[in-house]
């Protein structure tokens, strides 16, 4: 047997061995399915809507100033729970909120609502809070009016952090494999008295959804000049399946039926009146 024939035979043998091993290798290197419960990234809205913030819980802002949750009460506000050493989703969700604030049509930060970002990481400090705020200003086009009414803070007491996040149905945990926290990414909209009014998720919720959520959180507390906004808010309802506000078709069907009924009643009344007048005009005097 020539050397060429021996070499070809050896290559054929190697090819056959690789072909036989391929299914096993493919099965071995198949990425394992995640053991993470996907519900960790959502909040059970139907269960936790209406949950009230503890107004006495102390927070510390980016300048080191202490304040309490109750200092945010008095008008609706949007709360984002994040952690400040995160280079991924937390930066993205706050940047997306900033982008949506620039597209609001019906409401305005400061006038109608405020914004608050709070870290759920006990290791965050005043310094990391300030750095996160400064970074957000660089990477996102934050409207000046929004930034002036947007506070960044940490919990003073770790026990308060755990108790309050649990009360809101906000779950998170540290993944050693990924070296990061796994947590929901959401805009939590609160009413003026600190109750959870709506949970919005960035992939579905746009600027218009924030407008409508804030109007909904005002619970009918409108001045005369805001009646139009209130009427617009009634035209939409929150769609849990789609995760956003959609046109309130049942309301318009009901209103349409009501108007048709009223119009039919008025038409019948007019016809009845005309008929009576006609009969009176045709009577022969005695």
Q: What digits encode the pLDDT tens for the residues 130-179?
A: 999 999 999 898 999 999 999 999 999 999 999 999 999 999 988 888 78
Cβ neighbours for 216, distance < 8 A, ≥ 6 positions apart = 189, 197, 198, 233, 238
pLDDT at 220 over 60: no
pLDDT at 178: 75
The rounded distance, in Å, linking the Cα atoms of 186 and 78 is 10
pLDDT at 254: 43
What residues form DSSP beta bridges with 173?
Answer: 182
3-class DSSP assignment, residue 31: coil
The rounded distance, in Å, linking the Cα atoms of 6 and 272 is 110
Single out the residue of 223, 219, 246 nearest to residue 235, CA to CA: 246
Q: Is the pLDDT higher at 122 or at 39?
A: 122
- pTM (2 d.p.): 0.71
- Angle among Cα 230, 42, 191 to the nearest 5 degrees reads 30
Confidence at 241, pLDDT banded by 50, 70, 90: confident
Q: What is the pLDDT of residues 95-116, one digit of tens each?
A: 999 999 999 999 999 999 999 9
CA distances from 36 to 17, 52, 55, 72, 168 (A): 37, 28, 33, 34, 20
What domains appear along the chain, each with residue ranges and CATH number? 38-222 (3.40.30.10)
Task: Average the pLDDT over 225-232 and give the result.
Answer: 50
3-class DSSP assignment, residue 111: coil
> How many angstroms separate the most distant Cα atoms in the chain?
140
The rounded distance, in Å, linking the Cα atoms of 105 and 229 is 10
Pair 165, 51: CB distance under 8 Å: no
Cβ neighbours for 122, distance < 8 A, ≥ 6 positions apart = 155, 158, 161
Single out the residue of 198, 186, 169, 214 nearest to residue 48, CA to CA: 169
């Amino acid at each position: 047997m020539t050397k060429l024939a021996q070499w070809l035979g050896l290559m054929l043998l190697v090819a056959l061995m690789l072909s036989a091993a391929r299914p096993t290798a493919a099965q071995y290197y198949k990425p394992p399915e995640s053991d993470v419960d996907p519900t960790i990234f959502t909040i059970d809205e139907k269960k936790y809507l209406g949950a009230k913030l503890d107004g006495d819980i102390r927070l510390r802002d980016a300048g080191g100033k202490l304040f309490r949750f109750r200092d945010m009460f008095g008008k609706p506000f949007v709360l984002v729970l994040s952690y400040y050493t995160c280079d991924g989703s937390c930066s993205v969700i706050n940047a997306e909120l900033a982008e949506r604030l620039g597209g609001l049509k019906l409401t305005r930060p400061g006038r109608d609502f405020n914004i608050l970002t709070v870290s759920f990481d006990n290791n965050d400090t005043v310094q990391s809070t300030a750095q996160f705020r400064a970074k957000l200003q660089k990477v996102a086009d934050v409207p000046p009016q929004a930034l002036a009414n947007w506070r960044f803070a940490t919990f003073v007491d770790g026990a308060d952090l755990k108790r309050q996040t649990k009360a809101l149905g906000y779950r998170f945990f540290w993944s050693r494999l990924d070296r990061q926290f796994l947590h929901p990414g959401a805009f939590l909209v609160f009413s003026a008295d600190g109750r959870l009014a709506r949970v919005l998720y960035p992939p579905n919720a746009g600027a218009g959804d924030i407008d409508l959520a804030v109007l909904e959180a005002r619970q009918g507390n409108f001045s005369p000049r805001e009646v139009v906004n209130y009427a617009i808010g009634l035209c939409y309802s929150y769609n849990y399946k789609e995760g956003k506000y959609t046109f309130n078709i049942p309301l318009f069907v009901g209103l349409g039926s009501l108007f048709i009924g009223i119009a039919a009643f008025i038409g019948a009344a007019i016809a009845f009146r005309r008929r009576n007048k006609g009969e009176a005009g045709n009577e022969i005097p005695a």
